[in-house]
Structure formats: C-alpha cells, structure tokens
Amino acid sequence: MDVFEMKFSKVFPLLIAKAVRKGREEDEVYHVTQWLTGYSKDALRKMLESEATYGDFLRGAPSMNPLRFGVKGSVCGVKLETIEDPLMKDLRILDKLVDDLAKGKQMEKILPKQ
C-alpha cells in the first residue's frame, strides 16, 4: 500500500509512539507537526478522527512552513535535499523532525529559524 493512501489515524500515532518511547512528550510531536503544516492541535485531532489519508493530511495542510526546507539530513538513508517529489519531501521532513525529537535533540535545534 502506498504511504499516502494509509489512514492518517494509523500513521500519526506511530510517530507519537516513536518519540514517546525515547522519552519525549506527545505534545512535542504535535508541536513539530503544527510548525510544519499549520494545523492547529484541534484540527490535528479532527484529522485523527476522520477517514483522511496521510496524503490528504499533507495536501490539505493549511500553511506549510516555508522554513521547512531548512531541515537537513537523511531519513532512511535518503538525503532530504535529493527528494524531488514535493509531497514525499514534506512527508520525510516530518519524519526527520520526529527522528530528531526521538534522538533527544532540543526543540531549538530541530526547527530551523529564519
């Protein structure tokens, strides 16, 4: 199954679990997700209660943060800078943000600044 066709309600809890297993807080995952997408916490909760796919979640984001391209590094051995598909790049940026949380990085070092 294509990752974009997976239910958001199945994927997002996995991101939360990954961070929480490493001692981070659920709210921190919400924070980086809100920073990236522009969704409010309530809107994210509504998405979790809906039938929305992961692709719907990303395509419907209210305001993708233009600073997201400042997120650097690799996810699953693939450098973010080399990903050409915009939707896949956004998905991998969220993965990288959660990975950095799980690695114990401080929030100030995870989210790019202007």
- pLDDT score recorded for residue 76: 86
Query: Which pLDDT belongs to residue 38?
Result: 98
pTM confidence score: 0.94
Q: What is the pLDDT of residues 24-79, one digit of tens each?
A: 999 999 999 999 999 999 999 999 999 999 999 999 999 999 999 999 999 989 99
**Helix-strand-coil percent breakdown of the chain, rounded to 5?**
65, 5, 30
Residue 1 is predicted with a pLDDT of: 67
Q: Which residues pair with 74 in a beta bridge?
A: 79
pLDDT tens profile 7-17: 999 999 999 99
Q: What is the mean pLDDT of residues 108-113?
A: 91
In terms of phi and psi (left: phi > 0; alpha: psi -120 to 50; beta: otherwise), the region of 58 is: alpha
